[in-house]
Amino acid sequence: MIRLKNVVGSYRTSRGSINAVDDVTIDIPDGCILGVAGESGCGKSTLMKLIYGDIVPPMTLSGGSIEYGFTDERGAPVTSANITRQWFNRIAYIPQSSMNSLNPVVRVGSQFLDFPGPDRDKRRVLETVKAYIVKLGLPVETLDAYPHQLSGGMRQRVMIAMATFFQPQLILADEPTTALDVVVQKDILMLLMDVQEEMQNTIVLVSHDMGVHYQTTSRMLIMHAAKAVEYGDSESVFASPLHPYTGMLINSLPTIGDDRAREGIPGRPPSLWQSLEGCRFADRCPLATARCRAEEPAQLDHRPGQFAACHYAGETPEKRGETKWR
Amino acid sequence: MAVILRTDHLNKVYRLGSLARSREVRALNDVNLNIESDHPVIVSVVGESGSGKTTLAKTLLRLVEPTSGTATIYDKTIAGKGIHPPKREFLASVQPIFQNPFEAFSRYRPVDAYLQETASRVAGLGRDAATDAVIKALASVGLEYADVRGKYSNQFSGGELQRVSIARALIPNPSLIIADEPVSMIDASRRMIIINLFRALKEEARRSFLYITHDLATAYYISDFVAVMNRGAVVEFGTAREVMSDPQHEYTKLLLNSIPTTRSRWRTRPTLASA
């Protein structure tokens, strides 16, 4: 279990400090694929960096704590203070557009050897790498290729192979399929699911495509303007979303065979520079009342393991999901 | 009925590598399309990267010359070996919108300068008439001239800037707008603003669109016709409804089956006991 407690991630700039992740408290159960959704600028990628422990100025973890639920070599619990020692071995990160971060002048095989693994014998490591990439459905010749000789889908598969080579307990994947075509995207997502099923590790998957989340995740976290607005089992989040934002995200894009007009979500998340009062979604919400504008909604459990930060969440969830915003 | 778009045995072959070890890539392989209508239409071209959809767009925009074959837009032959339509007349009838608006506008030049220039050079308007045309074009995409004037591209969000580039394309009153992946860089929640704008422009301003995309769901949502491309060839063509609800070609079926929908799952996921 990974526990995030009141996590605040801020960026300090000459204009002052803003919280890109504001007071996020969630428990991520072991062995699940957690989907993180929300629009650009809602704090998804910052949350990934905080969990990975890649905290470098101007970003800081200015409040709260993260417990990873596993211990280091000396038996001390791993927290955000010492997670960086676990990079590659226990926790892996596939950043956004990472397939472009392969070194263009080094063959793929040699790049595998750059990781600080326990085995010092390079030839033996290379043999293991070969066996592993074949298992992931890549041809052996991939290791002799330079990155530019591979297609985008192959490069992304190489990145997944690198990230999962040491069988980490936690994999963070930030928009792993955004630049890819639908057919390749499906292959990559299936690969991630296969890897997770076999290793039984935890994957945190960031995407703004709710279809991708529906296909792959077992739990969902919805973020809006740096806040966690809904968190729960994917099944119930998709079937009857508690927060209006979740429902709008799910229904914002058209589906084939459905001719209803789609409007997207009106407005945009509020700027984090201004002082924010009440619910941050109030200005975009068709159901907002005076209470929403004055009083910030608390994260309340509405069903076991599913919370939403909305004053009117769960009152008439069925109605909300279906009639109010198609 | 007017021929909105016709391609006649359109081929484009790229040669790669050195003279001695050259390799041929058929980016367009005998593309034959014929779309005739009295009303403006939205035609989608869907396919994966490398399927030739962008080469088709570039050929129709005269950015690449086809190796053989011809293309006709609104009854005028505009592309083919030795075909050189008058440049201004061509630009006034066919206008592009590109994928990344931040690459379409220079960071060091206010965006309204591009609009003014299109109005004076392509549409051939005088200074006052040009400004009026810019104001009108911006209004039709839901933007105020005062909010755009003097601003640089980095002062806009992706969706807003893409609307500015649509406004720019509208200024010379083109009959066909070629939009190459116009929403793939835009946040999912704001994609529909652009897509609905295309539909409104078709109905109110009577513009036709060639919408190039790999997003089949939005293609279904706005288009009248869909052409599915694979390896440079059009493998399936028909009305959007026909192609998407009753696909005939295996490749179209593969594309449709790969869309992550929120309707049915590719495979069942184990549900976890709640934390």
Q: Which residue has the tokens 């639908």?
A: A182
B156 within a domain of the structure (yes/no): no
Of B91-100, B106-115, B255-264, the range with the lowest mean pLDDT is B255-264
Q: Looking at per-residue confidence, does A257 or B131 come out higher?
A: B131
Residue of B187, B214, B245 lying closest to A39 (CB–CB):
B187
Do the Cβ atoms of A287 and A314 come closer than 8 Å?
no
What's the rounded Cα separation, in Å, for the pair A176 and B225? 31
Mean pLDDT, range A113-121, rounded to an integer: 76
Banded pLDDT at B132 (limits 50, 70, 90)? very high
With a CB cutoff of 8 Å and minimum separation 6, the contacts of B200 are: none
Element containing residue A18 per DSSP (H, E): strand A16-28
Q: What are phi and psi of A316, to 5 degrees?
A: -135, 70
Please check the confidence at residue B128 and state whether its pLDDT lies above 90: yes
pLDDT tens digits along B237-253: 999 999 999 999 999 99
Quickly state the pLDDT bin for A318 (edges 50, 70, 90).
Answer: very low
Contact A193, A203 (CB under 8 A): no
- pLDDT for A326: 39
Confidence of residue A205 (pLDDT cuts 50, 70, 90): very high
End-to-end CA distance of chain B: 64
Token representation of residue B116: 């003014």
pLDDT in tens, A262-275: 888 888 888 888 88
d(CA B37, CA B72): 14
Residue A111 structural domain: 2-324
DSSP-H helix ranges across chain A: 44-52, 108-112, 122-135, 152-164, 182-199, 210-216, 234-239, 244-251, 290-294, 317-319
The pLDDT of residue A114 is above 90 = no
A256 vs B259: CB contact, 8 Å cut-off? yes
In angstroms, the CA B174 to CA B123 distance is: 10
CATH of the domain at A231: 3.40.50.300
Amino acid letter, residue B263 = R
Note the pLDDT tens digit of each residue in A168-191: 999 999 988 877 888 889 988 998
Interchain pair B214, A182: CB under 8 A = yes
Tell me: pLDDT of A299 over 90: no
ipTM over 0.90: no
For the stretch A214-242, pLDDT in tens is: 999 999 999 999 999 999 999 999 998 99
The arithmetic mean of pLDDT across residues B114-138, rounded, is 93
Predicted local distance difference test score (pLDDT) of residue B10: 95
> Is B182 inside a domain boundary?
yes
Assigned domain for B128 exists: no
For residue A12, what is the DSSP state? E
Nearest to residue A228, comparing CAs of A162, A292, A296, A168? Answer: A296
| Within-domain flag for B108 | no
Helix (H, G, I), strand (E, B) or coil at B42: strand
Q: With contact defined as beta carbons under 8 Å apart, do B4 and B73 qualify?
A: yes
Q: A306–B272: do the CB atoms touch at under 8 Å?
A: no
Q: Among the residues of chain B, which ranges form H helices?
A: 53-60, 87-93, 101-104, 111-117, 127-140, 145-148, 158-170, 188-204, 216-222, 240-245, 250-257
CB contact under 8 A, A39 and B191: no
Q: Which domain holds residue B72?
A: 2-102+174-257
* Nearest residue in A to B267, CA atom: A215
Asked if the bond preceding A58 is cis, omega within 30° of 0, the reply is yes
Q: Chain B within 8 Å of A186 (Cβ-Cβ)?
A: yes
**Using 50, 70 and 90 to split pLDDT, how confident is the model at B177?**
very high
Per the CB < 8 Å rule, is A182 touching B258? yes
Residue A168: asked if its preceding bond is cis (omega within 30°), the reply is: no
Give residue B8's pLDDT. 94
- Whether residue B24 lies inside any domain: the answer is yes
CATH code for the domain of B78: 3.40.50.300
> Residue A256: how many CB atoms within 10 A of its CB?
19
Which of A43-47, B17-21, B149-153, B187-191 has the weakest average pLDDT?
Answer: B17-21
* Number of domains forming the structure of chain B: 1
Token digits for B87?
A: 């440049």
Given a contact cutoff of 8 angstroms between Cβ atoms, the answer to whether A10 and A18 are in contact is yes
pLDDT tens digit sequence for B31-65? 999 999 999 999 999 998 888 999 999 999 999 99
Q: Which band of pLDDT confidence, cut at 50, 70 and 90, is reported for residue B269? A: low
The token pair at B84 is: 């050189």
- Of A198-202, A315-319, B58-62, B189-193, least confident by mean pLDDT is A315-319
Write the residue in A27, A40, A264 that is nearest to B275 by C-beta.
A27
Whole-number Å distance between alpha carbons of A60 and A22: 12
Q: What is the pLDDT of residue A322?
A: 45
Q: Which residues contact B238 (CB under 8 A, 6 or more apart)?
A: B225, B226
State whether residue A88 is helix, strand or coil. coil
Q: Count how many pairs of residues, chain A against chain B, have C-beta atoms within 8 Å.
A: 128
Position B195 in a domain: yes
Phi, psi torsion values for A323, nearest 5 degrees: -85, -40
Average confidence (pLDDT) over B246-265 = 91
